[in-house]
Structure 1
Amino acid sequence: MSTSKNYAGIPDEFAQLEKSKIILIPVPYDGTSTWGKGADKGPEAFLEASENMEWYDIETDSEVYKQGIHLTDPIVESSSPEAMVKAVHSTTKDFIKRNKFVTLFGGNHSVSIGTIRAFNECFDNLTVLHIDAHADLRESYNGSKYNHACALHEASQTTNLVQVGIRSMDIIEKTLIDEEKTFFAQEMLNDEYWMDKVIDAMTDNVFITFDLDALDPSIMPSTGTPEPGGLLWFETLDFLKQVFEDKNVVGFDIVELCPNKNDKSPDYLAAKLYYKMLSYKFADQDVDQEYDNTYDIDYKSSTNSKFEDDED
């Protein structure tokens, strides 16, 4: 159980909403998982591990927590997958409009439907960088289009979707992928230029959705659907660092941590991954420098009305 009301136990002066550049929204949701259960316990395990993490990042020579990281109340909505997506969408969009750098920690991957929807409504020409073992492109699964197996279907229709690390999918998804923007794990293994190719496939504004089962089970066994042959730690960091350096990353989420009470190391890995991503984003920004995510709020009225009709 997390013992601090602040993310990573940081001092109150760096955790206040008004002074924080960064927002962290926990979404303890596991309503549509189909095999390993426990993603609803992921945010709590992540926060507990974060409290045992050093605040100084050696690689970037920075203490990103001093930019201000505000931990919100968790989004707890279990009445239906649709209601959960609607709550995530609304909360995420509200903080984006406050000019915050918004991050979320799930929960299973279905929470990202609402997250991506909010960012797509607020940022022009958005790329969704999807790092995952699974394509997650099915239009519907087990009777719901808000299933974790459908997490990126909407993004495939409404954003520039780039998928990295894919090594498992249903045959129906073969008809839905964009082969020029899908980087399969077995092909990445023998392509020393895969990172550059991913960068080239993206637009300037990028939202990252990181499913922890993209990582190899040797370092990340605590997921609902682990797949062999995944990314390792330093190649993942090398790739993410390049993305943050070359693109305007406007936000991100991390999902699918299913904690194991007998092995805390995956929880700690998730905590370090989150902090590293923040460190890459803000490494070159002074603590006192005002954060400006340089977007024009251009809400897509047709998109809004379509989704609102679906949710009602």
Structure 2
Amino acid sequence: MKTKTYAGISDEYAKLETSKIVFIPVPYDGTSTWQKGADKGPEAFLDASENMELYDIETESEVYQQGVYLADAVTENSSPEAMVEAVHAATKRFIKKNKFVTIFGGEHSISIGTIRAFNDMFPDLTVLQLDAHADLRKEYEGSKCNHACAVYEASQTTNLIQIGIRSMDVIETTVMDTEKTYFAHDMAIDDNWMDSAIDQMTDNVFITIDLDVFDPSIMPSTGTPEPGGLLWYETLEFLKQVFEEKNVVGFDIVELCPNKHDKSSDFLAAKLYYKMLSYKFIDEAIDDDFESNFDQSSGSKNSKYNEEDDY
């Protein structure tokens, strides 16, 4: 990776010891079956992030100040199974350091390793999958670590909730829990799907986002784009509600297949990642703002807080 720090942030906010957040790139594209290029996703993402404004208007915060450590990329590609084991080990190592661990692929098979690590470390885990595809095959093309199998293991070992599904093989109907699957065509006419999905989640939630969950009108640069996907603000509304009501323990984002002639998808991925961090750490940002105001007024609260004290 050319980038020395996430989003080009200063070393002050990029050290492992002081960072609350870890970012693990996984430039892997070993099992994709149509368009190749997801291995270039992390580099395109980091390049877009470095050219993105770091003040989030909605949350009035600069979440990078919580510290984001850019870990060494997981580059194991000798086999899908070896890659999954390497991702599992790297992810678990940083969770054990009490970091908020995030991973960027690469294609969706990397999530087998990330989900396995979070399931090892957090009890009663919900895996929230945002995806166009079910990815529930037990095995595909001779491997259980194929992108088409990305959440099969999660369906057996965690509370899997699937959002935005609109493409699958008939064999996957034998595995899928339809009570916890939100098909895109149903979501389009159901105003209650967000609350319903959240009600089915346990307290600890890991989010895996395949970028093809988005409609290709706003996210064309994926390996297997599918019409009829989610749009930007409805996705943010849902994610914000999940972060507010549940303990999101980490997330991964996969399947950015960059197009050198159109950078909009790279920036959508970069913005999505930053928005999710902003939602996760909004309370810390408020606390930091309070402490800053407290310090600047020589130990007394500023007028914004004094007004509240008058009541």
Same-fold call, TM cutoff 0.5: yes
Q: State which structure, 1 or 2, has the greater radius of gyration over its C-alpha atoms.
A: 2
* Percent of residue pairs identical: 75
Within 5 Å, which residues of 2 pair with 1:124-139?
A: 124-139=123-138
Alignment correspondent of 2:251: 252
Aligned to 1:208, the other structure's residue is in SS state strand
Deviation by residue 1:140-167 (Cα, 9 ceiling, x = unmatched)? 0011110000000000000000000000
| CA–CA distance in structure 2, aligned partners of residues 208 and 198 of structure 1 | 13
Structure 2 runs not aligned, ≥5 long: 289-311
Give CA deviations for 1:66-118 in whole Å, capped at 9, x if unaligned: 00000011000110001000000001001000000000000000000000000
Cα deviation for residue 175 of structure 1 reads 1.0
Cα deviation per residue 1:222-280 (whole Å; 9 max; x = unaligned)?
00000000000000000000000000000000000000000000000000000000000
Work out the CA distance in 2 between the residues paired with 1:47 and 1:16. 17
The answer on 1:159 being equivalent to 2:192 is no
**1:286 CA drift (Å):** 4.0
Partner in structure 2 of residue 300 of structure 1: none
- The total of aligned residue pairs comes to 288
**Per-residue deviation, 1:287:** 8.1
3-state SS of the aligned residue for 2:196?
A: helix
Partner-residue secondary structure (3-state), 1:198? helix
8 Å Cα contact 2:63/2:285 also seen in 1: no
In structure 1, what residue type is equivalent to 2:167?
Answer: S
Match of 2:72, SS?
A: coil
Length-normalised TM-score, structure 2: 0.91
SS in 2 for 1:284: helix
Q: 1:175-220 CA distances to partner (integer Å, 9 max, x unpaired)?
A: 1110110000000000000000010110000000000000000000
Assess if the C-alpha contact under 8 Å between 2:61 and 2:285 holds in 1.
Answer: no
Alignment partner of 2:253: what SS? Answer: strand
> Could you tell me the TM-score, scaled by structure 1's length?
0.91
Match of 2:200 in 1: 201
Hey, what does 1:307 align to over in structure 2? none
2:75 aligned partner: 76
Q: Match of 1:164, SS?
A: strand
Partner Cα separation in structure 2 for residue 169 and residue 242 of structure 1? 27
Take 1:173 and 1:82, find their aligned partners in 2: how far apart are those partners? 21
Q: Which amino acid aligns with 1:179?
A: T
The 5 A counterparts of 1:75-224 are: 75-224=74-223
**Runs of 4 or more consecutive aligned structure 1 residues displaced over 2 Å after TM superposition:** 286-289
Q: Partner residue of 2:263? A: 264
Shift of 1:284: 1.2
Unaligned runs of 5+ in 1: 290-312
Contact 1:66 1:287 in 2 (8 A): no
Local SS of the residue matching 2:129:
strand
**Cα root mean square deviation, aligned:** 1.0
| 3-state SS in 1 of match to 2:103 | strand
